[in-house]
Amino acid sequence: MSKLIEWAKTHPRLAAWIVLGLGMNAIVVYEARDVGLLAGQWAALVIATTLVAGLCVWIIGWEDDDEDAQPPLPGAGASKQ
């Protein structure tokens, strides 16, 4: 279990994609269970849902990229007296 946690810490976006994809697919499969989809349609639905989860994680990650790219403000961290 600790290896899984360490892997998730070293690959946070990929771990978030997996967790979000599993959750989203579980909801979609539960809600669409009585629709009568064919196997190919189920596969397309699961693939599309997984890609949307990855897109969500990627978009949320833009904020992290912006913070890393900005130089620190002059005097940041220095206490004012």
**Does position 27 have pLDDT exceeding 90, yes or no?**
yes
Supply the pLDDT for residue 60.
92
Q: What is the pTM of this model?
A: 0.74
**Does position 66 have pLDDT exceeding 80, yes or no?**
no
Give the least confident one: 19-28, 51-60, 65-74: 65-74
**Does position 34 have pLDDT exceeding 60, yes or no?**
yes
Give CA separation, 57 vs 14, 15, 19, 69, in Å.
Answer: 8, 10, 10, 19
**Does position 5 have pLDDT exceeding 60, yes or no?**
yes
- Mean pLDDT along residues 37-56: 97
